[in-house]
Amino acid sequence: MPELPEVETVRRGLLPVLEGAVIAQAEVNRPDLRWPLPDRMADRLTGRKVTALRRRSKYILADLDSGETLLVHLGMSGRMLISGAQIGSYYHDHLAPQKHDHVVLHMEGGARITFNDARRFGAMDLMATDRAADHLLLKGLGPEPFGNDFNEPYLTVRLQGRRTPIKAALLDQRIVAGLGNIYVAETLYRARISPLRLAGDLSQPQVGALVPIIRDVLAEAIEAGGSSLRDFRQASGELGYFSKHFQVYDREGDPCETPGCTGTITRTVQSGRSSFWCPKCQS
DSSP letter for each residue of 29-73: -SSBSSSBPPTTHHHHHTT-BEEEEEEETTEEEEEETTSEEEEEE
| pTM score of the predicted model | 0.90
Instruction: Return the pLDDT at 232.
Output: 41
Q: What would you measure as the largest C-alpha separation in the chain, in angstroms?
A: 62
- Model confidence at 262, pLDDT cuts 50, 70, 90, reads very high
Domain extent listing, the chain:
4-134, 152-277
Instruction: Return the pLDDT at 48.
Output: 98
Total number of residues shown for the chain? 283
The reply to whether 152-277 shares the fold of 4-134 is: no
- Model confidence at 77, pLDDT cuts 50, 70, 90, reads confident
- Tell me if 30 sits within 8 A of 209, measured CB to CB: no
**Using one digit for the tens of pLDDT, what is the confidence trace for 102-152?**
999 999 999 999 999 999 999 999 999 999 999 999 999 999 999 999 999
CATH topology of domain 152-277: Helicase, Ruva Protein; domain 3 (1.10.8)
Active site residues: 2-3, 58, 273
**Using one digit for the tens of pLDDT, what is the confidence trace for 24-40?**
999 999 999 999 999 99
* Across 27-41, 50-64, 207-221, 234-248, least confident range: 234-248
In words, the CATH class of domain 4-134 is alpha beta
Instruction: Return the pLDDT at 235.
Output: 53
Identify the CA nearest to 14 among candidates 67, 55, 57, 46. Answer: 55
User: Which one-letter amino acid corresponds to residue 258?
Assistant: T
Q: How far apart are CA 186 and CA 117, in angstroms?
A: 28
Q: How far apart are CA 254 and CA 266, in angstroms?
A: 8
Q: How far apart are CA 141 and CA 128, in angstroms?
A: 18
